[in-house]
Amino acid sequence: MKFFVDTADVDAIRELHALGMVDGVTTNPSLILKSGRDILEVTREICSFVEGPVSAEVVALTADEMIAEGRKLAEIAPNIAVKVPLTWDGLKTCKVLSDEGKMVNVTLCFSANQALIAAKAGATFISPFIGRLDDINLDGLELISDIRQVYDNYGFDTQILAASIRTANHVTQCALIGADVMTAPPAVIKGLANHVLTDKGLEQFMKDWAKTGQKII
Ligand code: E4P
């Protein structure tokens, strides 16, 4: 499973990139707001060192305007994936831009039917939001599983980009289901290294080592 980082915080992306943990990046208007930076400028900086797909989201609501914004975003770098919402106009935009050879990430997906029509419109990535479904007491992981089955039934090559990931368990379950990609905030990715027994075991090893009186260097 590929790891995308869900942030526009360049320092956080650089830290994970140095460890080989960044197969791509996703941003959205809320993350751009959080970064406090200009969308074109920050996206350009991210693309200067991230080799994989970098999603940048359009903000218009009509297809003509989304297409224009998408083309402008795609000029930033060849690895831009234009992110469009899963609306009828977003699907029109997806078809036009994917026919032009651009990567398109269709976002705000909350049903298997939405994922099905995004694949038909030529989406490179479909972004089902797990956490936001869990927030309203639905099962976000079940959606990932349903989309996996639908895409496999018919051989769609649209990649499932599991989004709105909040927990380490979301990551594990996405990997078991067979999501192609997951995107998570830096803190969730760093948290994957944590285990209470690792901390406990290390603490004991340090105590015992101190008692040996030895040094390695
Ligand atoms: C995906 O591309 C979105 O940017 C993101 O995963 C949304 O996550 P949230 O529901 O935690 O805001």
Residue range 151-163, pLDDT digits in tens: 999 999 999 999 9
pLDDT value at position 85?
98
> What's the rounded Cα separation, in Å, for the pair 145 and 86?
19
Cα of 187 vs centre of ligand 1, distance in Å, is: 13
pLDDT value at position 33?
98
Residue ranges covered by each domain of the chain: 2-212
Q: Which residues are CB-contacts of 135 (< 8 A; sequence separation ≥ 6)?
A: none
Q: Which atom of ligand 1 is nearest to the CA of 26?
A: 2
Q: pLDDT tens digit string along 121-132?
A: 999 999 999 999
CATH superfamily of 2-212: Aldolase class I (3.20.20.70)
Cα of 151 vs centre of ligand 1, distance in Å, is: 22
Q: Tell me the pTM.
A: 0.96
